[in-house]
Amino acid sequence: MALTKPLNKYFDHTLLKADATAEQIDKLCEEALKYDFYSVCVNSSNVAQCRDCLKDSDVKIAAVTGFPLGACTTAVKVFETEEACRDGASEIDMVINIGALKEGGEEFVYEDIKSVVDTASKYNAIVKVIIETCLLTDEEKRTVCRLSEEAGAAFVKTSTGFSTGGATTRDVALMRHSVSDSMQVKASGGIRDLDAVMSMIEAGADRIGASASVSIMEAAGLKK
């Protein structure tokens, strides 16, 4: 399929490992600058460092909140969102409360998402809602996609990459069909080669979260 934008602009270049060092974060930012990726995606404690590394560039900063379990309180997610935005994040990738969704707590899940969206919006930041597809039924996926859109999120996102599975083309397609055209879909978790990226885009992904972004670009013949 024809891409709707340059390949590099699909990527949130990602480093979320618990043992990530400051040196590795610097390298992540250097790679993002070199390839002009859309953003870097990091833990909230790394946002200020990324802000300093990426100043005067158009590479954005995405911070994860409630990551990777989504099981902290809404107040904690709001606080982490506020700090990340103050430090320079313009995108927030939040994890839903998966247990609450599975036990039918739609109102709680909606309010959890909306609280983060409302906080991020004060800083003109957008929210991507990580639904952790590997733990959900198809009906639960559709439900949380609807709740995410109703709460004002900009994206629904497949996975943290830290649970029992990552992105699949089937889930991306299901999510794409569960939201309106004004909402976007991010595929993340286990996307390590060019074929997987192209399959995700074909299925409806607007953004790709990957730690293998550089090798994927090289495989596409776009070395820098």
Catalytic annotation present for 157: yes
Burial 147-159, CB ≥16 within 10 A → b, else e: bbbebbbbbbbbb
Tell me the torsion sign for CA atoms 210, 116, 96, 133: negative
For residue 164, which of 207, 133, 209 has the smallest C-alpha distance? 133
β-strand pairing of 39-43 with 184-188: unpaired
Pairing of strands 60-65, 39-43: parallel
Do the Cβ atoms of 175 and 145 come closer than 8 Å? yes
**Per-state percent for the chain, helix, strand, coil, to nearest 5:** 45, 15, 35
Catalytic site includes residue 223:
no
Q: Which of 112, 141, 157, 206 is catalytic?
A: 157
Q: Which of 114, 128, 141, 186 is catalytic?
A: 186
CA distances to 27, 113, 207, 214, 224 from 57, rounded to whole Å, are: 15, 30, 19, 18, 17
Q: In the chain, where does DSSP find H-type helix? A: 22-35, 47-53, 74-87, 98-102, 106-121, 138-150, 169-178, 194-203, 213-219
Are 5 and 219 in contact by the 8 Å Cβ rule? The answer is no
First to last CA, the chain: 24
Task: Spot the catalytic one: 93, 112, 171, 206.
Answer: 93
- Active site (annotated) includes residue 93: yes
Catalytic residues: 93, 157, 186
